Structure formats: structure tokens, C-alpha cells
Amino acid sequence: MSTDLVELKDIRKKNLGDLVSLYEYNYILINKLAPDIQSQQGGRVSRVSQQLDLYMSVLNTSKYTTTIKLTYFFREEYNIKHIPDIRIKIYHDARLAEVLLLDDSGVNYDVPFNEKIFCSLFVKKWKINSFLNKWLHYCLKQGHQFCIENKI
């Protein structure tokens, strides 16, 4: 059996409560990465010696939510690639963080509930939010952190 099928079978054992728990854990990690996220505006850069610079842009803020973009910049001959390019909505009142958009693929994961597409959407949300969780762990392990002082 291929690893993709095993992974899909494992994801299908998950439920909405598991996904919400993942959102909660991502919220905790984002708050470690950017402790004052609610008061931040514009762009920030986190620089760690011998590591890629990590960029965060605050795209939208309100009383209860903040939407951010996290990425690395990779310079190519005539352009800059943002990889991964991930947009995250942070719900401060509920203490949750979920991926809205990954890699500017144009796929928006913030869609109204529709029972017919729930299973495939659930699997996608589980995968991209699991990716965010692993990436946040990696960034924190490297020593990244966004503070007011590291404004772009």
C-alpha cells in the first residue's frame, strides 16, 4: 500500500474536533513566533544567523482576527519566489489559527460548509494545517521570532 493511501486512511480517522485541536496548537505556535501579533502591522522579518530570513506580513486586523502571510523569499535571476506562501487567519477570541491559502494556488480554504465537498475539503484542511504546524515548529527551532523591532 502506498504512503499516500496510508496517510489518507489515517486522516479519515480524524474528526472535526481533531482539526480544531490542530488549529488551537497552531495558534499557540504562532503566538510563540509573534508574541505581540495583535499589535503588529505591516511587514516584519526574522533573521537568524545561517538560516533563511522569515517574512511575515499583517494583511488584515480586526478586534477578533488577524490575517497574516508567512514566507521565505527565494531570489531567482529576474524575480523573487515566495515559498511557501501561506496565509493564516488568527482568531484571537477563540484562540485558533487556520490556513486560508497556501502557495498562492488560488485555492481559498475559507469557504461555506457544503456537505458534498466536506470530506475532500477536510482532508485538504488537515494536510495544509499539519504542514503549517510542522513549519512553525521548524521556524521556532531555528530561533525565529517576530517582534516590534524587526519591522521591514
Closest CA to 65 of 44, 89, 100: 89
Domain boundaries, the chain: 3-150
Residue with cell 515559498: 83
Mean pLDDT confidence for 11-32 = 89
Give the model confidence (pLDDT) of 70-117 as tens digits: 998 877 766 767 778 899 999 999 999 999 988 754 445 454 545 455
Confidence class of residue 40 from pLDDT cuts 50, 70 and 90? Answer: confident
Cα–Cα distance for residue pair 82/97, rounded to 1 Å: 21
Give the model confidence (pLDDT) of 109-121 as tens digits: 454 545 455 567 7
Cα–Cα distance for residue pair 84/82, rounded to 1 Å: 6
Cα–Cα distance for residue pair 28/96, rounded to 1 Å: 8
**pTM for the complete prediction?**
0.79
CB-count burial class (<10 Å; 0-12, 13-18, 19+) for 71: buried
CB neighbours (10 Å) of residue 96?
18
